[in-house]
Amino acid sequence: MFIDLVRSRKTCRRFTDEPLSEEEASLIVEAGDKAPSSRNLRPVRLVPVADVGRIRELALCKDHGSDALLTATFAVVVAADPSVCDVWIEDASLATIFMQMEAEDLGLGSCWVQVRLRTGDGEPAEDRVRRAMGLDPSWKVLSIVAFGRRP
Ligand SMILES: Cc1cc2nc3c(=O)[nH]c(=O)nc-3n(C[C@H](O)[C@H](O)[C@H](O)COP(=O)(O)O)c2cc1C
């Protein structure tokens, strides 16, 4: 039952080295894509990252609270095009939690790493993520979700 997942879910910030399968990663992204969207405008842009070196680079985007990205084996940058929808933060939050609940259902761990309004080395963390990922400069970045297998 869904309530069992809700009851057992806990944020996980340390993961084993064992990578996710392509199917697991794909199901997680599908769950985020299928989250509700205001007026169905769909401003959210999910950017999957399976390259561990790139995930470690993303861990440097902010000064605190990005530890989960130091061992994650999969991550999704949750970005949005604000010109598409004014309530992109709500839409992006829903995509984030849908992916976390899918991970839970797959027996995987996950952690929401906040990017919006956070800083790294005196610079907005959003700028650092956009640069590391080569994202469109007009996109906003809400979060990076870290995924992996629980120890
Ligand atoms: C909006 C939001 C931002 C969060 N940002 C971070 C973060 O930057 N780093 C982190 O390690 N955890 C982050 N978390 C996870 C929370 O710390 C965590 O959900 C909270 O401590 C409750 O623990 P639980 O998820 O195990 O119930 C965030 C959660 C939310 C909802």
The neighbour count for residue 52, using CB atoms within 10 Å, is: 15
pLDDT at 150: 98
Topology of the domain comprising 19-148: NADH Oxidase (3.40.109)
Gap between the Cα atoms of 60 and 33, Å rounded? 26
Residue 134: exposure state from Cβ atoms within 10 A (0-12, 13-18, ≥19): exposed
Residue boundaries of the structural domains of the chain: 19-148
User: pTM score, two decimals?
Assistant: 0.98
Taking the chain (151 residues) in runs of 10, the rounded mean pLDDT of each run is: 95 98 98 98 98 98 98 98 98 98 98 98 98 97 98 96
Q: How far is the CA of 11 from the centre of ligand 1 (A)?
A: 7
Q: Is there an atom of ligand 1 within 6 Å of 142 CB?
A: no
Q: How far is the CA of 67 from the centre of ligand 1 (A)?
A: 12
DSSP SS3 for 3: helix
Q: How far is the CA of 131 from the centre of ligand 1 (A)?
A: 24
pLDDT at 58: 98
